Amino acid sequence: MRFFSGVKNLARGVAVACAVLAVLQLAAAEEQTPLKELETALSEVKTVKTHFVQEKKMTLFKKPMITKGMILLEMPEKLMWKIESPVKYVLLIDGQQAKQWDGETKKTVRIALAEQPVFAAVTQQLKAWFAGNYRVLSKDYTITKLAGEQLTFEFVPKPELPQAKMVKRISVTFQKDKKYIELFQIEEQSGDTTKLTFSETKLNSDIDKKEWELP
Amino acid sequence: MGTAVKSNAKRICGLVVLLVSLCSIARLPFLPFSGRIDVMLPEKEGIQDIFSFLKDVQVSDKVLVTLSMRDGSSDSDLLCAAAQQYVAQLDTKLAYPMNTGFQQGEIVQDFKHLVQQLPEYTEAGELEEISALTSYSGISTSLSNLVKRLRTPEGMFSGSAARSDPLDWNGRLVKKILGMLTSFGYRAVPVQGRLMDPEHKNLLLVLQTPIAMMDAPGVRALVAHLESCAKALPSAVEAKLVCAHLHTLGNETIIRRDITVTSIAVVLVFCILFFGVYRDWRSGYVVLIPFLASLPALALSALVFNGFSALVVGFGSTIAGITIDYAVHAYVVSRTEHREINLKRIRLPVCLSALTTLSVFIAFCFSSIPAYRQLGCFAAIAILVSLVYALIGLPYFIPVAKKNVSSVGPLDETVSRHLFSPRIAWLVVGGSVVAFALGFLCLRYLKFDGNVSKLDGTPAAVIAEEQRAITLWGGGESHSAILSVEAPTEEAALRLNDELYVALLKAGLAAREVSSLSPLFPSEATRQQRRKQWTSYWSPERVLAFQENVRKASAEMEFSDDAFSSFWPLFDTWRGEEAKASEPIRFLQPLCERFIHVNQKVWVTTFVADDPHVLEIAGRVKKDIPSLKIVSRQAFSKQLSSAFADEIKFVTKLAGVFIILVTVLWIRRPGMIALALLPAIAGVLWGCAAMVFFGRSLDVSNLIAGIMVLGLCIDYGICMVFAYRDGIQEEVFQAVTLCAVTTVLGAGVLLLAKHPALFSIGVTLVAGVSAGYLCAWLTLRAVYSLNRKEAKDAQRPQ
């Protein structure tokens, strides 16, 4: 019955989508207001190649969890997150596609972000924080510029949002030349902290095609 | 007849017609007209039920608005702002936005409830998995995965979740729920609290409306309002609608347009023919008669039925148009010099014509399709009233023409007065045989399509937008079969739905092949049962072993001593035995509304592929669940097709019997009967065969048109046969020609109609009436020419 089939399918689709929306609202958060100063600082950056050390201090563990790796960035859509120790792992995001390589299984998983809304929300966050797309964050966070030698911004989740129950604050400290992040810290309500320190950062250097390849 | 007597009779006739018409008009506002389409369906077992069911489970109270950038670009900010503006403009009496967004606090609460309901979402078979997960190696693997996840970028923001759920049981539940939700295949993703496509090029707004789909004035107001809201949007943004109401509006607009065009064209044709050919303003009475006959026909037939279909009124009025033929005959002979004699002569053939046509519509009254019964009754009364008006009333208003009437006819006098030469007669007979053979050959390629959606004249743009929206937002259940269970209460229906789901999986279907609410929203009984299973599974020994395994594995991986401090209280909650009803998960509510339908009883739907293998499995399951209803759209379409075909056969046979009875009893001469029927056979044959040339199948509307062709062409046959017998072939031929030309020209306009049903009617009428007329004119004349002696005898007035 053509009278209703199209409408019916869509309406049921909407019902499903509403449910998905509800599930994802915990993870996905976008922003509208521009954060010009930071964006200006990053606007000249076309590529980034940097090493990082991630230190997680969690009540879950007796000792801090140290992870080392490298990040490759090509604005605006390409990001590679490579973990080199103590495990091997690579995440490559390129537009609407993502690939995950696991060093333990030696297998690569392809992910179409359009079909994986949870993963899409996560990658959106990664791109927002590390590719300088701060504009999308200003709706959910109160942003304050901290005093100090280096340019540092503090992002405090707005209290009415669910993430406020988990995250206390996120701070982003820029290099002296303001070109890229030097330190990224997450402080959770439980007291757990995550600290990402970037070093050997190369901006606007040519990144060899081979470096974008997964093992 | 004296002048005074004639004048009195004229006055009385005029007065009676006026009174009848006024009384009928006064009755019209009180007639119970309805726009229901189900009156077009046969009242056969299953068909009406399935149609009502399909109608009930459809969503006719929703309007989907897709906002897009006109240039096809992606600008989520502008689209969201436009959506906000669009919603702000809505008149809530006509439409209001459906709650597609949820308060953040509500979602957090929902997730707390969902996590507490973990045992209720754990099926018996999954307890085996729990056993493996809670073993030492299972726990080690889970914790190892957790550590790995926390190191990855995806795990950067999930520290809090890991603390409250180190074994990722809640995560598994959420993934399971999400997996089930996304398995429905829809593409909308949340952006700024709105639903957008993954490319962020389109935004979806879902509106609810209290306006019923068949409420034509309400629909007009609703669509006009939504269009005005769209016009106020930023110029870069466009809003496109998808809703059932557009079908109503599209059909109404197109039918209104087609009928207006057709009516104007028909009136013009009549005016040109009557006023142009006869140059007599009184010929306007001829045009008036079908209209005047329709009024009492409508008023009287509506008394017989509880509700009267507006669709029938539309078709019935068109059918009533064929009754103009009686008036044409009466008009033509009333203008002749020997009008009294000629009027007497045409009474028999015209009455016989009316009776045969009446036979067809009386046959309709025995149809199992309510609309056909209504149509039969309406048309039968219209025919009788027209006949009375034409033969008794009209002649009083038509004076004898000043000039000899035959001299003003449009046709070649010589041809009409003389029969064909034997050579030409044989040529015509040969040509007729070839035409009949060709017609029968075409029938071999003709198919019947019983799909009532053929009556849907929704504009192509509306259908195209629906297709675009389905492509854009996903969904593909238009080809799904629907399985439905029914019970007096929601809980009982959900319990049956759970049974159905389990049975389908047990019978061999994969979970991904079954779109069911059961895994997402099980019944309370199923929940309680699963909770009991969970509780009984967790014996004190198992709990102790689990705790020991967690302690050992977490210590080895250097988890802190209180790493599981948030988990154990939740684990205790899961093992609680309280039998209270589960807290509702509000974000699942819109989904429940789509699967659960309440109408006195409650029924829950499930969607499966509409293929024989799956339906065979469903058929087997039905043995255990008697209330299970299996609705296959394909099967329903076939069932409808077969029912319509049976209906055509039945009505045609019955009409044939009536016509033969009437003609045999009245004419009594086999040769005359055969010749009288010949134009009707030619008309119906070519009315159907012409559809082949347009590459179309026969549909329900062709049945109505075919019956009209039968009624008209049999009239031509009878009139011509009697004309040859009575020697008035010149006048009758003129009348028949006029009838045929007006019908063909009037119906010809339908070939320009946009509505598929009207177009089909146009094709059948034009081809059928033309063939019938040509047969009555040429074939009958050729046959009479070849039997010259008999024809000459028959020409002498009796």
Which candidate from A58, A115, A126 shows the least CB-CB separation from B159?
A58
Residues of A with Cβ-Cβ distance to B179 under 8 angstroms? none
The confidence score (pLDDT) of residue B500 equals 93
The confidence score (pLDDT) of residue B796 equals 46
Q: How far is CA B785 from CA A78, B82, B197, B780, B789, in A?
A: 91, 79, 76, 8, 8
Q: Beta strands B308-309 and B33-34: pairing type?
A: parallel
Mean pLDDT, chain A, rounded, equals: 76
For chain B positions 220-249, those within 8 Å of chain A (CB to CB) are: 242-244, 247
Which candidate from A2, A19, A120 shows the least CB-CB separation from B587?
A19
Q: Is A70 on the interface with B (CB under 8 A)?
A: no
Q: Is A87 on the interface with B (CB under 8 A)?
A: yes
Range of weakest confidence among A74-78, B39-43, B328-332? B39-43
DSSP string, chain A: -HHHHHHHHHHHHHHHHHHHHHHHTTT-----S--HHHHHHHHT--EEEEEEEEEEE-TTBSS-EEEEEEEEEETTTEEEEEEEESS-EEEEEETTEEEEEETTTTEEEEEEGGG-HHHHHHHHHHHHHHS--GGGGTTTEEEEEEPSSS-EEEEEE-TTSGGGGTEEEEEEEE-TTSSSEEEEEEEETTS-EEEEEEEEEEESPPPPGGGGS--
Q: Pull the structure tokens for residue B410.
A: 């449009």
Q: Beta strands A78-85 and A89-94: pairing type?
A: antiparallel
SS (H, E, C) B125-136: CHHHHHHHHCCH
The confidence score (pLDDT) of residue A10 equals 43
**Which phi and psi (to 5°) does residue A83 adopt?**
-100, 130
The confidence score (pLDDT) of residue B455 equals 60
The confidence score (pLDDT) of residue A116 equals 65
Nearest to B269 by CA among B792, B740, B753: B740
Instruction: Measure the CA–CA gap between A17 and B588, rounded to whole angstroms.
Output: 10
For chain B positions 702-721, those within 8 Å of chain A (CB to CB) are: none
pLDDT category at B272 given cuts 50, 70, 90 is confident
- Convert the pLDDT of each residue in B681-726 to its tens digit: 999 899 888 888 888 877 767 777 787 788 788 888 888 888 887 7
Burial B492-512 (b: 16+ CB within 10 A, else e): bbbbbbbbbbbbbbeeebeee
DSSP string, B375-387: HHHHHHHHHHHHH
Chain B interface, mutation test: which of A10, A57, A97, A165, most B Cβ atoms within 10 Å?
A10
pLDDT category at B253 given cuts 50, 70, 90 is confident
**Which phi and psi (to 5°) does residue B59 adopt?**
-105, 100
B62 vs A7: CB contact, 8 Å cut-off? yes
Sequence spans of domains, chain B: 3-36+249-404+414-450+645-795, 102-192+462-631
Edge-first strand order for the sheet with A97-102 is A107-112, A97-102, A89-94, A78-85, A65-74, A47-57, A193-203, A181-188, A167-174, A152-157, A141-146
pLDDT category at B353 given cuts 50, 70, 90 is confident
pTM: 0.64
Which candidate from B163, B242, B591 shows the least CB-CB separation from A7?
B242
Which strand (E) or helix (H) includes residue B769? helix B756-774
B98 vs A14: CB contact, 8 Å cut-off? yes
For chain B positions 603-622, those within 8 Å of chain A (CB to CB) are: none
Residue with tokens 């297709």: B467
For chain B positions 670-689, those within 8 Å of chain A (CB to CB) are: none
The C-alpha angle with vertex B777 and arms to B775 and B783, in degrees rounded to 5, equals: 75
Nearest to B123 by CA among B511, B564, B585: B511
Q: Three-state DSSP class for B99?
A: coil
- Convert the pLDDT of each residue in B374-431 to its tens digit: 888 988 998 899 999 998 888 888 887 765 544 333 334 433 455 777 788 889 889 9
**Which phi and psi (to 5°) does residue A144 adopt?**
-130, 140
Contact A86, A67 (CB under 8 A): yes
The confidence score (pLDDT) of residue A51 equals 93
Average pLDDT, integer, range B343-364 = 84
- Using CB atoms within 10 A of its CB, is residue B347 exposed (0-12), middle (13-18) or buried (19+)? middle
Average pLDDT, integer, range B659-673 = 81
CA distance B494 to chain A (A): 18
Query: Which residue does chain B place closest to A31, by CA atoms?
Result: B192
Instruction: Measure the CA–CA gap between B170 and B777, rounded to whole angstroms.
Output: 85
Range of weakest confidence among A126-140, B339-353, B561-575? A126-140
Instruction: Measure the CA–CA gap between B486 and B490, rounded to whole angstroms.
Output: 9
Chain A with chain B: Cβ pairs closer than 8 A: 257
B188 vs A25: CB contact, 8 Å cut-off? no
Residues 6 or more apart from B9 whose CB is under 8 A from it?
B1, B396
B159 vs A56: CB contact, 8 Å cut-off? yes
Q: Three-state DSSP class for B69?
A: strand
Which candidate from B100, B101, B466 shows the least CB-CB separation from A6?
B466
**Which residue positions in chain A have pLDDT lower than 70?**
1-38, 41, 114-119, 121, 131, 133, 135-136
A25 vs B193: CB contact, 8 Å cut-off? yes
Residues 6 or more apart from B555 whose CB is under 8 A from it?
none
Which candidate from B107, B186, B458 shows the least CB-CB separation from A26?
B107
The confidence score (pLDDT) of residue B403 equals 58
A6 vs B100: CB contact, 8 Å cut-off? no
Q: How far is CA B734 from CA B289, B290, B518, B566, B723, in A?
A: 19, 20, 73, 99, 11
What ipTM goes with this model? 0.80
Residues of B with Cβ-Cβ distance to A13 under 8 angstroms? 184-186, 188, 473-475
Contact B196, B189 (CB under 8 A): yes
Q: Is B460 on the interface with A (CB under 8 A)?
A: no
Range of weakest confidence among B183-192, B420-429, B465-474, B707-716? B183-192
The C-alpha angle with vertex B109 and arms to B106 and B112, in degrees rounded to 5, equals: 155
Winning range, highest mean pLDDT, from B314-318, B651-655, B752-756, B787-791 = B651-655
pLDDT category at B794 given cuts 50, 70, 90 is very low
Nearest to A72 by CA among B153, B158, B150: B153
End-to-end CA distance of chain A: 52
Q: Is A206 on the interface with B (CB under 8 A)?
A: no
Instruction: Measure the CA–CA gap between B500 and B515, rounded to whole angstroms.
Output: 12
For chain B positions 51-110, those within 8 Å of chain A (CB to CB) are: 54-55, 57-60, 62, 64, 76-77, 80, 98-102, 104-105, 107-108, 110
pLDDT category at B474 given cuts 50, 70, 90 is low
The confidence score (pLDDT) of residue B454 equals 59
Residues 6 or more apart from B665 whose CB is under 8 A from it?
none
The confidence score (pLDDT) of residue B315 equals 67
Residue B639 CB neighbours (<10 A): 18
Residues of A with Cβ-Cβ distance to B36 under 8 angstroms? none
Instruction: Measure the CA–CA gap between B237 and B70, rounded to whole angstroms.
Output: 6
Contact B450, B645 (CB under 8 A): yes
Q: Is the pLDDT of residue B668 over 50?
A: yes
Q: Is A56 on the interface with B (CB under 8 A)?
A: yes
Q: Pull the structure tokens for residue B660.
A: 């033969």
Which candidate from A21, A186, A192 shows the least CB-CB separation from B100?
A21
A60 vs B156: CB contact, 8 Å cut-off? no
CATH of B3-36+249-404+414-450+645-795, one of 1.20.1090.10, 1.20.1640.10, 1.20.950.20, 3.30.70.260: 1.20.1640.10
pLDDT category at B230 given cuts 50, 70, 90 is very high
Nearest to B706 by CA among B759, B612, B769: B769
Instruction: Measure the CA–CA gap between B215 and B190, rounded to whole angstroms.
Output: 34
Average pLDDT, integer, range B140-168 = 81
A21 vs B188: CB contact, 8 Å cut-off? yes
